[in-house]
Structure 1
Amino acid sequence: MIKAGYILLLCFSVQIAVAQNQQFVYDNKVYQPNIKTVQCYNAQKEQSIPVITLKSNEQLIFSFDDLNGGSKNYWYTVEHCTSDWKSSRLSILDYLESLSEDRITDYKYSFGTLQKYTHYRLSLPNNQIKPKISGNYLLKVYEEGNQQKPVISQRFYVVEQIVNIGIDVVASTQVSLRFNHQKVNFTIFHKTPIQNPYTDLKAVVMQNGNPQTAILNTKPQFIKPGSLVYNELNSNDFPAGNEFRKFDIRSLRFKAENVQDIIRDTAVNVILFQDVNTNKAKYSNQIDENGSFFIRNQDGRDNGTESDYANVAFTLNAVPPTPDGDAYVVGRFNDYQLSEVSKLHFDSSRKRFYTNIKLKQGLYDYKYIWLNKETNKIDQTIFEGSFFETGNTYQVFAYYKKPGSRWEELIGYGDINTLKR
């Protein structure tokens, strides 16, 4: 009996040690279940792609909530990365002007909410942490100054606008895809010579800021004096998808858009109206925010600290499209991550998927996707449909590695909205 108890204690100690010695991954990720509502965007526009211009006055706003409450010593640093999100293996002296790490000191406690939490906030660059070269960066947040205790990792971009990028979205040149895909053509305009664009230059195209949609371009179709043209017939074709579904929980006293019921007890429970499979439906022209979410509160004054949390129940009236796979509900609110939290469970007796996610008061865009386990491919349209008319935003990032240089610079960034508002 003593031996069995010793083995259990040993296993428990090993689990704790593993939990405390995690490694950061080079992706947007939350490592602790008590951390919610991670936001990162350019301060000039809420929920914009986290891109700032090098040596400018632009800043990133980064924030999150700790549902355990109290105050903790959260530290942060940033690391320079390659265009495909791996470590650049540079010394901190190569890419930071000042300190290598700092503590997050701006925090406030929630007020008047059923769910108690502490709201942390950070602006970058600041006097302590300031990037001095362009490129991809990973923001790392960790406990007690120990990077073996990760809390959040967040991607962001620092651009030095050396080139300009012209972007055009057209119908697919492939006849079978013409009514459900959008093709992105773009041109990189440069004043300084690029010696070998085939080896030194890369361009990444994304739809709605979703890393899962990223397409890498390494070879321009045409090289002209002062410009590189990327318009190959069968490249940069994106499923257009459908407008995002959405719901409004700015108030937890009144039922707003797509909210069927609100139940207040020891916690707040929100039941959304049942969603249907729109794969075969016609395109519906409704205004969305291309996957973004906005923390808003009509029941109090301060969005950051007076917005409560609710357990939001999602239901999708559909059956599994393939024998082996999983359905997920995704959007900017969870960085499109396929995790246990975002996975839906299938009720075979009712022929529907469901899940419950704790979310902060606000406006949310979301959609349902399917991961086919046999092919390990994500289908963004199987529950939503795909229509050329859908409004999307597209982002193009241009990376350049100078001959003899040890890192890739982000020398250009451009975006376009297919709907002019």
Structure 2
Amino acid sequence: MKNALLLFIGALFIASNLNAQTPYANGVYRHEIKSVEFYNTSKQSSFPIIGLNSTDQVVLGFDDLSGSSRTVNYTIEHCDANWNSSRLSPAEYLQSFTEDRIFDYTYSSGTFQKYTHYEIKLPNQNIAPKLPGNYILKVYENNDPTRLLLTRRLYVVNSKVSIAANVLASNNVALRRTNQKVNFTVQYAGLNVQNPNTDLRVMVMQNTRPETGRLNATPTYVRNNQLVYNDVTINDFAGRNEFRHFDIRTLKLNSERVARIYKDTANTVMLLGDPPRDLPNYTLLYDNDGKFFIYNQDGRDSRTDADYAHVYFSLAANRPPDDGTPYIIGQFNDYKIDENSRMEFDSRGRFYTHLLLKQGVYDYQYIWVSNATKKIDDTLLEGNYFETENEYQLLVYYRPPGSRWEELVGYSLLNTAKP
């Protein structure tokens, strides 16, 4: 009876998490849509931000594993700093058409798993933003916006402020060995700011993860057209740990984290078992801050000749399944906590799962969800250290006097390992 009750409570938790997934967040809404990449064309897997009226572009690429082509449409919608719709007419924020169709698609070649690869670049001659700010890119089929395939968050900046930032140890003595505190100053002399305490807001994200981001609505103090954010209680982030990773750029030989590769009617990759990493001291490991990179080392065009593999993960959490459940997350699954990322407990005392993933390099980590409290803990299994190398994205939002929308007027990328 107890186990049945725990399963019921867990199901309620998952359902509430899924319901919280709105069309204004990164999401994939069909099981056959895989390997969604969305980044600035200057660098693979980079932050999807472009300058307004610049030559910058972002590229969206994804696979449809149904194996056939379909009519795929897309549009973008302007949002505020909280990712709520700005409720503007498309004519107010788009320069040309309100929607377009993706005509660039290619069938896979020489792969066990057949798929169709779709790709677009933005802005283009049909879809281009008129205003700076947050935009949600919606991809759907058959000209029906209710039949969503996926959504991605796009950032369009019109730089009008400068940002100076640094990372220090936490001001809280109890957290100095684990936390990273971000202090920053925004110089806004080029803006018409009537009330600095309400007209400007700053979002700080760690490794492009909105769910752990902090939206700063009020500065610590204002001086000479500068907003200073350095209060001891704000922007204090858990340093966490470096991401785990594995490399399946080739399926012909085992890489560092691969135990075995089986090839029959499909590819199967068995990874080495993962131990918990909540150790007393930090260990330096190279990672990609949660990112993933699609790549086929033995092919010519990874977009269409990289194959898929069933990748098996196992974790020695050293915790009984009655206490909680681990989930596997990373940028590859939008850090989503759902049935697809949930791990099962086996008779050998380990948690396991398998995911269908395209060839490439992947960062990932495990989080723990307690059965008793339903709280999400991303340091219990991974550890938490001030020395961890992290990227921080700082985004400055501004509401012009009398306007009905917020503009993105500043962006800065901060790395804890680089001065």
TM-score by length of 1: 0.92
Q: Which residue of 1 aligns with 2:195?
A: 196
- The equivalent of 1:292 in structure 2 is 291
CA contact (8 A) 1:322 1:372 kept: no
Does 2:162 match 1:158? Answer: no
Partner of 1:396: 394
Match of 2:64 in 1: 66
243-252 or 334-343, larger mean C-alpha shift: 334-343
Q: For residue 126 of structure 1, what is the aligned residue in structure 2?
A: 124
| 1:384-409 deviation per Cα after TM superposition (whole angstroms, max 9, x unaligned) | 00111110000111111122110011
Residues 55-83 of structure 1, C-alpha deviations (whole Å, 9 max, x = no match): 10000011100011121110000111111
After superposition, the Cα gap between the structure-2 partners of 1:83 and 1:296, relative to the gap in structure 1 and judged at 3 Å, is same
1:354-384 residue CA offsets vs partner (Å, 9 max, x unmatched): 1100000001111111233554432111110
Return the offset for 1:351: 2.3
Cα distance, 1:45 vs. partner? 1.3
Q: Partner of 1:100 in structure 2?
A: 98
* Equivalence for 2:308: 309
Matches for 1:330-349 after TM superposition, within 5 Å: 330-347=329-346, 349=347
Q: How is 1:145-184 mapped onto 2 (pairs within 5 angstroms)?
A: 145-184=143-182
Q: Partner of 1:360 in structure 2?
A: 358
Task: Give 1:358's aligned amino acid.
Answer: L
Q: 1:339 to 1:128 in 2, by over 3 A?
A: same
Cα distance in 1, alignment partners of residues 189 and 146 from structure 2: 45
CA gap 1:321/1:139 in 2 versus in 1, 3 angstroms: farther
2:322–2:371 contact (8 Å) kept in structure 1: no
User: What is the alpha-carbon distance in structure 2 between the residues aligned to residue 266 and residue 337 of structure 1?
Assistant: 29
| CA gap 1:362/1:24 in 2 versus in 1, 3 angstroms | same
2:134 maps to 136
Distance 1:197 1:374, change over 3 A: farther
Task: Report the equivalent of 2:226.
Answer: 227
Contact residue 291 and residue 366 of structure 1 kept, 8 A: yes
**Alignment partner, residue 261 of structure 1:** 260
Query: In the TM superposition, what is the alpha-carbon distance from 1:188 to its structure 2 partner?
Result: 0.6
Partner residue in 2 for 1:42? 40
- C-alpha offsets along residues 5-48 of structure 1, whole Å, 9 cap, x if unaligned? xxxxxxxxxxxxxxxxxx96211111110000001001111111
Asked if structure 2 preserves the Cα contact closer than 8 Å seen for 1:37 and 1:65, the reply is yes
Deviation at 1:320, TM superposition (A): 4.1
Q: 1:211/1:376 Cα in 2 relative to 1: closer, same or farther (>3 Å)?
A: farther
Identity of matched residues, %: 51
Counterpart CA distance in 2 for 1:318 and 1:24 is: 31
CA-to-partner distance for each residue in 1:279-309, whole Å, 9 max, x for gaps? 1253111111111111111121111111000
Aligned to 2:87: 89
Equivalents in 1 of 2:400, 2:370: separation in Å?
40
RMSD value, Cα: 1.5
Partner of 2:7 in structure 1? Answer: none
